[in-house]
Amino acid sequence: MQATSSQHRQIGSLDVSLTGLGCNNLGWRIDEAQSRRVVEAALDAGINFFDTADIYDKGHSEEFLGRALGKRRREAVIATKFGMKFDDTHIGAKPEYVRQSAEDSLRRLGTDYIDLYQIHQPDPNTPIADTLGALEELKQAGKVREIGCSNFSAQQIREAGGKFVSLQNQYSLFHREPEAEVLPECRREHLSFLPYFPLANGLLTGKYRVGKALPTGSRGQAGWGPKVFTPENLQKVERLIAFAEKRGHTLLELAFSWLAAQDPVVSVIAGATTPEQVKANASAANWKLSGEDLAEIDRLAA
């Protein structure tokens, strides 16, 4: 039986799968042929939400995604981002740059509309009202369907005055910072929340275990997030694995399903480098956790 992402939730007017494909690996870690296989596997597994950014491998991620979707473009909800440093002259959120970035992304993606266009980070040099004005123009022109933001604080969300439909920040069982202010603000403003790094740099995949060497070529071995790969966190991982396995599930399913149970999370964005990873991710959020389960997971991860 094909593993599928059967549940859908809303980002504004957009209907998205509960599991999304993060496309930061496209170009950076996998070539175009492998990128195509990953994207096609996602569509076949019921994933329709694809999240990329202009800076991912200097535009190659957008290009690979666009070409991989090809005739299946209408099956996909494409989210991309602008605003982080592309090169010395391409950065920020000034209106003219917003318009230029959108045209560049549309060209690379090979499409005439972007479903969700997100400002990748706040621009301290540009009033948010100016940026929003340009984004609203793109919506009116039909080039963008919805607008969102990423790496914004609760205060910065408030300053946007309810114009965004979504916020994408880091959030996982091992990174709980959004729970203090950001998630409550999203609930007040009716913003859909999109967690990135849901697996804490791979710590929540189950491949990192107490007493075992870090896998060759893994993020852990490469020194990603050294604060994450601590003996204390590996002990927590062992406890969480035991909890999941006792109930017939994997740590991966626990990590995804725990996020899916948090209000207002709408889609869990995870990267993949193989079709097999995509298929595992597609069905990982289907475990319905009870209130007792959630309380116990909190205790084990505390």
Active site residues: 56
What separation in angstroms does the CA of 281 have from each of 128, 243, 276? 35, 19, 9
Q: Which residues of 26-61 are buried (b: 16+ CB within 10 A; e: fewer)?
A: bbeebeeebbbbbbbbbbbbbbbbbbbbbbbbebbb
CA of residue 138 relative to chain centroid, distance? 23
CA distance 248 to 78: 34
Contact 54, 92 (CB under 8 A): no
